[in-house]
Amino acid sequence: MVRILTLAVALVMASLPAPALAAWNWTTWDMSAKDVIRGSGGRVKIASGTANDRVNNWWLMAAGDLRQDDFDFRGEFYFDAEGKALHVVRLSLKNPDDCERLTSLLRTRHGAPRDKSSKLYNFTLTVLEWADIGQGNYLALTSLPQMGDEPALCFIRYRPVGDPNGA
């Protein structure tokens, strides 16, 4: 009986997603900043950021222009302080007018999102979240309309499943 239970647990564990896989492109969550830059084929370079270039506990260390699924993005890659492990990928649409089309693509791929949008003053901050457990990712699409001289924003943030500090 113990052998059967052990085998059943082993089979279930083997079928779980590997948390190191990113949902897109060439990255994995265990990559260093140097690995991400090397794996990008020259599209991503060392980021020349400031001390404010953080997402929670993670630091911006690599960035570059990327194209995926007929969208042009500015990709930003956030790591632990030593640059040894990728923790957040942020893809900002270069043309925020494409945000509705991107949202539609994400809904088609990942189903209905968890909507965490909120009304702020006279505009809506849109935040849609999905869990892509099969790839080991949480992803969130955030968008803000144009406000005065500030341009509209639309970006996707990926973080590994089980990382409480990634979002």
Q: Which of 120, 123, 64 is nearest to 90 (CA)?
A: 64
What are 78's two structure tokens? 């956030």
Query: What's the pTM value of the predicted model, to 2 decimals?
Result: 0.80
Cα end-to-end distance, the chain, whole Å:
42
- Give the three-class secondary structure for 50: coil
What pLDDT does residue 50 have? 58
Q: Where are the domains of the chain?
A: 19-160
- pLDDT value of position 70: 94
What is the predicted pLDDT for the residue at 106? 95
What integer pLDDT is reported at residue 2 of this predicted model? 33
68-76 contacts: CB < 8 A, separation 24 or more? 68/24, 68/25, 69/105, 71/98, 71/101, 71/102, 75/43, 75/44, 76/47
pLDDT at position 12:
28
The reported pLDDT for the residue numbered 60 is 92
Say whether 155 sits in a helix, a strand or coil.
strand
Residues in the chain predicted with pLDDT less than 70, given as ranges, are 1-24, 49-52, 55, 163-167
